[in-house]
Copies of this chain bind each other. A is one copy, B any other.
Amino acid sequence: MAQLVVMYRAPKDPAAFDRHYFETHVPLAKRTPGLRKYEVSQGPVTTPAGPSAYHLVALLHYDDVAAIQKALASAEGQAAVADLQGFATGGVDILVFDTRAV
């Protein structure tokens, strides 16, 4: 499997962020081809030492990194990426990698 990890830094207006994220962005991202599972953080995103810089983390699961690249390059993926501009006002950090259980 592979992970697209999307980490949203604290936005200017958290309530507006959440509304847009769940009403608009999640439906857009769910349309990307090859998506197997979509999880989001619930409640605060913390560190072992206290608060983190992040408001929300999304974990999108695909079969492999090639599938993530295909999803991001698709029309649906491009629409989801374009949508980020409108609500991810604190910035966003994205990681992509294949995974294996240990």
What residues make up the interface of A, taking CB atoms closer than 8 Å to B?
A: 1, 3, 5, 7, 22, 26, 30, 37-48, 52, 54, 57, 59, 65, 72, 81, 93-102
Known: A30-B102, A42-B97. 14 other contacts (CB 8 A): A3-B41, A5-B57, A22-B102, A38-B101, A39-B99, A41-B97, A41-B98, A42-B100, A46-B95, A46-B97, A47-B95, A48-B96, A52-B95, A57-B95
When chains A and B are docked, how far (Å) is the Cα of A60 from the Cα of B57?
Answer: 15
Q: How many copies does the complex hold?
A: 2
Assess the A94–B48 pair: CB atoms within 8 A: yes
Contact A102 B57 (CB under 8 A): no
Q: Across the interface, which residues of B come within 8 angstroms of A37, CB to CB?
A: 101
